Chains A and B, each alone.
Chain A
Amino acid sequence: MKLSRRNFMKYASATTATLLGINLLGCSSRQSTGGVEIGKLSTVVMGYGKDHKLKGGKWGIGFFPKVNTLEKLVEYDLEKDEYKPFLAEKWEVENGGKSITFVLKKGVKFSDGDELTADAVKFTVLWLTANHPLGQETFESADVVDDYTVTIHYKKAEFLNLAKMAEFHMSIMSPSSVSPKGDVKGEWVLPIGTGPLKVADYREGEYAVYEPNVYWYERFGLEPNFEKLVVKFIKDEDTRVMALRSGEVDCLSDYCHGGSDYTPRNQLAPLRQDGYKVFKRGEPLTWVIAFNYTKEPFNNVNARKAVDLAVDRNEVVKIFNSEVYPAETLFIEKAPGIKEAKAQGIVYKPNPDEARRIIKEKGYSNLNVKLIVDKAQGDQILVSQLVQEKLNDVGFNVELEVLESGAYKEKRDSGEYDMRLYYIGGTDRRFYMRLYWRFHPETKWKVYESERTGNLCKKILGEFDESKRRQLLVEFYKAVYEERGVVPLYFDIMTVVTSPKMDMTWDETFKWPNGYEVGEPLFYDV
């Protein structure tokens, strides 16, 4: 068949128009996963900076599912310094703390319908002992006393054992989380817990989909007001904010661990202005200047004191648009023992003139000191530049090294630095755990150690009596202050930002329905 020029043009035009049409259709029919209609069952889409690691890893699944799909035996009330019943209704400490017998609440169900029994707690303990670094250093064994009573035996007799039971990592999971069911050496499948959410779908590095765990809602007498919670993993913080503004996601949550992968603090005010809701909570997570206290010049308290006096914390918080809080004490005021310590005058205050005097008197003038910072912690680069300027102003000569994470860790571990920025504390549930990790003489991640602080730390973590522990904490804060073991800079916050159409409140974000306040954002009532 011969194709005339006229026909060729006709067919070519038709084909081009069809292709253009298909392309246009493809562009405009973007799948909409977002969109909340208040009062109706719907899908809520969240932007989150970290993968939820639902397939597990060295430290298990991510912190978000550890808080929202699994629950702990106990919860921690930071303000009262009290451990409260959660999955366990009561407990008894035995053998000076080497064993704790937990009595479980009855009628609690996992998201797959199985009942929570002592066997599941024993399975969790044995699984953690076999597979998890914290489990390996903590547990010895577990005995089932009856269906709802379990005795956990620990390696050491200390109060920290109870504190650890409120930890992320000690969340109770169903034996069905592994295959074959209940085999502690079995293959990890998915987290199955008693928490408000259950995993519906997961694609590594891309998204996780959660559905309400109806048994949890029954337990608290609530009705879920959403069908699905889709969590998109968006690493870049600016992209997350843009996704919220464009309507691609309905809300943003900070990384539950705290300290990184958060909504940029300088974006919170403009978001508020534009009608977005910002829920914020101060955490006992303090960013500090940590010293290499094993070598000159910071093996000397005077050098450390000069650094402390040189830095104005009110200036540091301006970097974060004053959304975070200046740290005049080691932890936020509601942390145990801080009010008492403050009353005794343990307050970090700037005094550049005194810093200059110390530097001159002790011969530190123009002394070269190296401040290292991890490039992955973007805001810390700005903080470190401010610290550098402030220290140079009083007479030090600070060399700032911004390093790739790998190079940073290498220098940190080999001691090739004089100062670095780091954090102590964490969300509420980690208060004692981090005290252990940062100040106990035997841990790898400690920021400071002296005989005095080390002994006090050991005593605190061993003391079950709340009032004695508080007294020890005040002594500990005093010791760290007098020795200027670290220089606190600011208290971090945890935020959740939602679009105006979402119906969340602060209480629903940071409190369980029974009124227990926690440091991590909760998503049972979106």
Chain B
Amino acid sequence: MLARYVARRLLLLVPVVFGVTLLLFFSIHLVPGDPARSFLGDRATPSAVAALNKAWGLDHPIPVQYWLFLDRLVHGNLGQSLFYQSSTAGLLVGRLPVTLLLLVYGAVGSVIISVPLATLAALHPGGAADHSVRVVGTVGIGMPSFWVGTCLIILFGLVVPVFPVGGYGETWPSHLWSLVLPGLTIAISVSPMLVRSLRTSLIEALGSDYVAFARAKGASPSVVLTRYGLRNAAVAAVSVLGVNIGFLVGSTVVIENVFALPGLGSLMVQSILDRDFPVVQGITLVFAVLVVLVYLLTDLAYAVLDPRVRLT
């Protein structure tokens, strides 16, 4: 049954994936003027421009171009980087682990921050703790993530120097250690949103009949909070995190730049500044695939956590 559910979900993704490739394909045509000329710069020779146009297949009619584009994608070919003069796909594969690891840090960190705060707020709605959490959240939602990162650098890098404030290190332990501050930054940026939704669903769960009945049965407060409150709110939390994956990825892109981490985000910004179109296009594709996969995983997790979701 689960397999059929997955198959159906995948089928629903077909139009989205089609749309994503179409948008990425047409992106080059959004560039004002001759794209190849635009990316190579004014000093490029006409023959170099012509060569690039040929390499990108821009001398073909549009439907053929799209076909060639899809054909390249299917073969894992994202083109040749203009700046690095090497395969874009290879470049991205080398950078991907940093970004993925940072995403995991951010997601786990935001859950560690959000769940206690949301619980504190939801236990006594309208109470002092609830108001404090709300005020912190309202301030937090307007904080630029890179500014949070800057403040953390000042605090933990300069005032109380405990964590490395930039770079990725050479060894695995130093990799993991150097991601602490960036991960914390992402977690702090994502948390206000997460706390807000979690608080709402936890209040809803704690005010429900099943919690009242659990209390009437004589279930202890800790059982009521965990098995009845948090367990049900977790279902909501999963979907909130899933829906906000785009936001999480966005923060990652920015934060990699703040902490000079060699991930996809810093490569994307650098490539934009270098006008390296194939790399920018490739990274965008990777992020879109990542987001779509997370949406899919969220649906699956939701189906596993909530037995009411029909697996048909």
Decide if A and B are genuine partners.
no
Taking beta carbons and an 8 Å cutoff, which residues of A are in contact with B? none
Taking beta carbons and an 8 Å cutoff, which residues of B are in contact with A? none
